[in-house]
Amino acid sequence: MAENYNTKDVTDLINRYLEAYQRRDISALGDVVARDANFVAFGSDEGETWYGWDKFRTAAEQLFAFAREIHWNRGTPRVTFSRDGNCAWFAEEMTGNFLTGEGKHECKFRLSGIAEKRGGQWVLVQFHRSVPTKEYAVPYLGMHGVRFD
């Protein structure tokens, strides 16, 4: 049972996911996510919702065609396991650096997700990649009576 709780295995999965972006390699990306209809991915913008590998693959291919280079300045992933060790959830903060035809761009990111051990291999079954905003969401919610204190 102890082998199911190996944080390094899940960290390696996250590393391979981010390296697939850096290499703009759709095949490598497909090797780390669940290639089924139950896979779920969210981004920050309203239209960034992908249910299933096929929809997500199409969006990733569009990003890879647009960005000439993608690099990450990484944080440290926090990984937690389910009781049986076959499911893990993680969170990490990082900065993305992108080179496009329009120039260089830098953006902070938050990445969180769920990995599942299937047939002895870890795959991402869900993730949420978002861009933190400052003084946008909290004041908006405050105008509608939502408070965080």
What is the average per-residue pLDDT within 34-47? 91
Summarize pLDDT for 60-98 with one digit per residue, the tens: 999 899 888 889 999 999 999 999 999 999 999 999 888
Question: Is the predicted pLDDT of residue 2 greater than 50, yes or no?
Answer: no
Q: How far apart are CA 96 and CA 106, in angstroms?
A: 6
Long-range contacts of 52-59 (CB under 8 A, 24+ apart): 57/26, 57/29, 57/30
Find the DSSP H helices in the chain.
Answer: 7-23, 26-32, 53-66, 137-143
Of residues 127 and 6, which shows the higher confidence score?
A: 127
Q: What is the set of domains in the chain, with CATH numbers?
A: 2-143 (3.10.450.50)
Q: How far apart are CA 120 and CA 114, in angstroms?
A: 16
Which DSSP category does 85 fall into? S
Summarize pLDDT for 108-135 with one digit per residue, the tens: 999 999 999 999 999 999 999 988 776 6
Which DSSP category does 33 fall into? B
List all residues 6 or more positions away from 76 whose beta carbon is below 8 Å from its beta carbon: 92
Q: What is the DSSP string of 43-80?
A: -SSTT-EEESHHHHHHHHHHHHHHEEEEEEE----EEE
Tally of CB atoms within 10 A around 107: 12
